[in-house]
Amino acid sequence: MTSLIRIKKEFTDIAKAEGKGISAQLVGDDFFKWQATINGEEGTPYKGGVFFLGVDFPKNYPFSPPKIKFETKIYHCNVNEKGEICLDELKDKWSPGLTVTRILEIIMNIMKTPNVDSPVNAEIATELKTNKAKHDETAAEWTRKYAQ
């Protein structure tokens, strides 16, 4: 099964990204289900937080994207209340050349620089554009509350 071979290689490769604030572990002994973590970076309202994400691989991976969503509640304009992430690379811009490590790096990047032009939560995006201090205060509060 080529999917499993690819997933096992990616699981080995993600260990090399741990120094970048990204890690993953299997859920049970199922290589098709991971729990990934992203550490909130300095200079963001998410600093100090540890965010858990569920990663579910389809049977035809890498020809279809994995389903990745936040399990930790996060105040972010590109993440809805169910933890689903508005990210083109997980939808129509998916390519078999992408890896979970790369997708997690992209997610870390949108935590640093939210995409206010393509929000899944328009209210949060508007707040970020019009009152960044209030946005950052709420995001930091949620980080302390949910991501410790």
Q: What confidence score (pLDDT) does residue 20 get?
A: 87
Q: Which two tokens stand for residue 92?
A: 């129509």
Region 68-73: what's the mean pLDDT?
98
Out of 86, 98, 106, 110, the active site residue is 86
What integer best gives the mean pLDDT of the chain?
95
Going by C-alpha positions, the residue among 40, 113, 41, 103 that lies closest to residue 69 is: 103
Structure confidence by residue, pLDDT tens digits, 127-146:
999 999 999 999 999 999 99
User: In the Cβ-directed half-sphere of 98, how many Cα atoms lie within 13 Å?
Assistant: 19
77 catalytic? Reply is no
Residue 79 burial class via C-beta count within 10 angstroms: exposed 0-12, middle 13-18, buried 19 and up: buried
What total number of domains does the chain contain? Answer: 1
CATH number at residue 134: 3.10.110.10
Region 20-26: what's the mean pLDDT?
94
Per-residue pLDDT band for 148 (boundaries 50, 70, 90) equals confident
Task: Inform me whether the pLDDT recorded for 66 exceeds 90.
Answer: yes
Q: State which residues form the domain around 48.
A: 2-146
pTM over 0.85: yes
Q: Which residues pair with 67 in a beta bridge?
A: 56
